[in-house]
Structure 1
């Protein structure tokens, strides 16, 4: 192998390792949601190339209101779905849409766009 081929191979392997770490092994920071004065655990979720935050921690047995604000025009982000709660919502660009849930069981519940490309997770704790 020539020195150029070795350098290209090493750079390629480093890029693959970074991609694997970033998408699958990187630890995501979750947002723990507090109960507001109206009794809801409420959080704002920005929809732009993904969900921010994409990991939301709530308490079981208390209602949750997630306010989604979509700031992009990509077709994939037009809808958010919560399959475990049998809920979905259309997200018009530039508008805030509230999705209300009642998490009665602890666990991890995924939410996603209709194509499954944008993903988030709702963690329900005791």
Structure 2
């Protein structure tokens, strides 16, 4: 191989490594749910190329309301799945969808888009 081919290969491998690190190994800051006067824990989540925030902390045994606002029309973000809670919801573009759940046990519960490309976590303490 010649020098330009080696350089292009190294740059490509570096970009692949960065993408893998960013999506699978980088640390994300957790956002704690805000409790309303009625004791319901609420979080607003924006869906646009991912979930923001994508790590949400809540307390065990208290009801949770997740407000998903889908700020795009990409097909991947058309629905959200919470497999551990048996929840699958359509997310209409440019609308807010309410998801209510009651976490009964502590742990980390993943949520994803229908294709599994967009990911987030609900951390129950």
Q: TM-score, normalised by structure 2?
A: 0.89
**Mapping of 1:35-114 within 5 angstroms?**
35-114=35-114
RMSD of aligned C-alpha atoms?
1.6
Unaligned runs of 5+ in 1: none
Aligned partner of 2:24 in structure 1 is: 24
CA pair 12-116 structure 1, distance change in 2 beyond 3 A: closer
Question: Structure 2: how far apart are the matches of 1:116 and 1:9?
Answer: 29
Question: Structure 1: how far apart are the matches of 2:114 and 2:94?
Answer: 19
Deviations 1:63-108 (A, max 9, x none): 1000011111122212111111112222111211110010010011
Q: TM-score, normalised by structure 1?
A: 0.88
Question: Structure 1: how far apart are the matches of 2:78 and 2:17?
Answer: 32
